[in-house]
Amino acid sequence: MGALAHEAHGHHGAHDHHEHHDEGFVSKYIFSMDHKMISKQYLMTAVFMGLVAMLLSILFRIQLAWPGESSDFLTLFLGETWAPGGVLKENMYLGLVTIHGTIMVFFLLTGGLSGTFSNLLIPFQIGARDMASGFLNMLSYWMFFLSSTIMMISLFIETGPAMAGWTIYPPLSALPQAIEGSGLGMTLWLTSMSIFIASSLLGSLNYIVTVLNLRTKGMKMTRLPLTIWAFFVTAILGVLSFPVLLSAALLLLMDRSAGTSFYLSDIIVGGEMLENHGGSPLLYQHLFWFLGHPEVYIVLLPALGLSSEIIATNSRKPIFGYRAMIGSILAIGFLSFIVWGHHMFITGMNPFIGSVFVFTTLLIAIPSAVKVFNYLTTLWRGSLILTPAMLFAIGLVSTFISGGVTGIILADSALDIAVHDTYFVVAHFHVVMGMSAVFGMFAGVYHWFPKMYGKMLNTRLGYAHFWVTLIGAYGVFFPMHFVGLAGAPRRYYDYSVYGEFDTNSYEMIMDLNVVITVFAIIAAIGQGFFLFNFFYSIARGPKTVMNPWRSTTLEWTTPVEHIHGNWPGALPEVHRWPYDYSKPGQEEDFVSQIVPLAEGEEEAH
């Protein structure tokens, strides 16, 4: 500890040491340009949005488990308008599913996860005083906030929120006559998402520029912690793919309001014969999934980056195959741009093109497998400290495996034809996104909470939270695979329709739906442990020390109290890679990046 502290001290009187004294409330807490504060703002917003989305899922899960039965819980939240007599309305079911998916994917795991941890860790871990542009960074957060607000408002309007699924395929999303949510609700959805995309672009550009330009002396690209590599590639994916979604959304807006026919052709809806001719709904799907697939890695890579760091620290071992890990991140990032067609095998797309996408998609499994093996080897012969963060990181690896292997089924068009759009898909993406990525986010919060708030979270509550979440979430998503293999289509309001033709499947699906909902409720209640812990510890948690996890990276060389510019003196200089844990010949079981190589010591990589 002494070794790393002395470097950071002893440079008193450096330029911006006292700037932070005379800040007003507004510029410190609201329109802050400081990456640490912005990161906390992102986290708070994400926690709120995540809670809402979780609540929505419980509402529609109640309908799935006990279709048509009156529920006080539904009345409580939805009132007579959307749940007359305590029974959810068909259209609102779709509305809830849509907003649940949208919030989870975009607001919790794209905005929330990247926003929180890229902001927190990029300047800290590369040794920068702040982001390249504090102003754009602030703008990015407030646009995120605005888009979240609009998305929330759309839940309360008379015709209901968007109801076309989070993928909002036209024509359903283009025609208010087809479903009521495609009126004002869809307009708000598109507005919110356009602002969200702008926010995400501002954020990503900032991350990229910061990583490229503001690394401190000695911080070569090959000395960056894997977190930074993950955020960096994530940001590049975002910059390259989100604009395509924006264009898809703009064309959709034009089809909706300007009478164009990008996605519409030969339609009769609500008794009205439309003139639109020559457009193609498939065009939208191509544009959407050109973002959509990179998006799942935008969601996942930061989680993998965070867990790499956490696993190395808490195994007291270097991450195994550092270079291979970087290589896999780059390979995954690149390949994620040429696989989007695997969402479209049965849309009527040319089967030969489908074959090409089968090939590219299955290629991604290789770098993913490499990552898993590297995690396993990192754990092997480690000296594991099972902090709550570490537990979540291990949980992430487990779910990354479970969700990854089912991806192999879905990537194979000949098999996808049997399970596409069934609950098997729902199970698959929940295991990778709803579990892996969310676990990564939790791991990050538990690990960097001391850095964000200067306090410690309660470990026991962390344990309780982890175990309830792991058991609850596997209890929800494991059985879902079987529901899917029984052929149950997704986005169905009521599976008792099965009673009319296949009583065997009917019984199985109805039984499992109850099991799933019960586990979902348990998991949801389990989040209470986290929420309580989080807010209680912010207010009253025990104070932390500078480097609680005895970690090597630069963020742990900054003082506990947040200051402008992060380091009180000169910026630290980096002399080694970030994973010198348990290096033979060293006194401590970790050597901070700022400690120069000893004479004759070799740098690992």
Is the Cβ of residue 147 or residue 336 nearer to other proteins in the bound state? 336
Here the tokens at position 226 are: 């894997």
> By CB under 8 A, which span of 4-12, 123-131, 340-348, 561-569 interacts with other proteins?
340-348
* 300 near ligand HEM (CB under 6 A): no
Q: How many CB atoms lie within 10 A of CB 324?
A: 16
Binding mask 437-466 for other proteins (x = CB under 8 A): -------------x-----xxxxxx-x---
Tell me which residue of 196, 357, 367 sits closest to 290, measured CA to CA: 357
* 600 near other proteins (CB under 8 A): no
Give CA separation, 287 vs 167, 225, 337, in Å: 11, 33, 12
Here the tokens at position 211 are: 């990583």
* 425 near other proteins (CB under 8 A): no
Tell me which residue of 166, 190, 40, 48 sits closest to 115, measured CA to CA: 40
Residues 151-190 within binding reach of other proteins (CB under 8 A): 163-165, 169, 171-172, 175, 178-179
Question: Alpha-carbon distance 96 to 156, whole Å?
Answer: 12
Is the Cβ of residue 240 or residue 522 nearer to ligand HEM in the bound state? 522
* 277 near other proteins (CB under 8 A): yes
Beta bridge mates, 273: 268
* 98 near ligand HEM (CB under 6 A): yes
* 476 near ligand HEM (CB under 6 A): yes
Tell me which residue of 548, 546, 581, 550 sits closest to 566, measured CA to CA: 546
359 within 8 A of 335, measured Cβ to Cβ: no
Q: Which residues contact 428 (CB under 8 A, 6 or more apart)?
A: 403, 406, 407, 409, 410, 481
556 within 8 A of 546, measured Cβ to Cβ: yes
Q: Which helix (H) or strand (E) holds 117?
A: helix 113-126
Binding mask 289-308 for Cu ion (x = CB under 5 A): ----x---------------
> By CB under 8 A, which span of 216-224, 273-281, 427-435, 437-445 interacts with other proteins?
273-281
* 69 near other proteins (CB under 8 A): no
- The span from the first CA to the last CA of the chain, in angstroms, equals 23
Is the Cβ of residue 97 or residue 319 nearer to ligand HEM in the bound state? 97
Q: How many CB atoms lie within 10 A of CB 40?
A: 20
The length of the chain is: 605
Asked if the bond preceding 171 is cis, omega within 30° of 0, the reply is yes
Report what 293 binds from other proteins, ligand HEM, Cu ion, none; CB cut-off 5-8 Å by kind: Cu ion
* 267 near other proteins (CB under 8 A): yes
Among 329, 444, 579, 595, contact with other proteins (rule: CB under 8 A): 579
Report what 246 binds from Cu ion, ligand HEM, other proteins, none; CB cut-off 5-8 Å by kind: none
Tell me which residue of 276, 130, 148, 291 sits closest to 207, measured CA to CA: 130
Is the Cβ of residue 14 or residue 385 nearer to other proteins in the bound state? 385
Residues 21-40 within binding reach of other proteins (CB under 8 A): none
Report what 14 binds from Cu ion, other proteins, ligand HEM, none; CB cut-off 5-8 Å by kind: none
Residues 506-545 within binding reach of other proteins (CB under 8 A): 508, 528-529, 532, 536, 541-542, 544-545
* 174 near ligand HEM (CB under 6 A): no
Binding residues for ligand HEM (CB under 6 A):
54, 57, 61, 97-98, 100-101, 104-105, 109, 165-166, 426, 430, 433-434, 438, 476, 490-491, 520, 523-524
Binding residues for Cu ion (CB under 5 A):
293
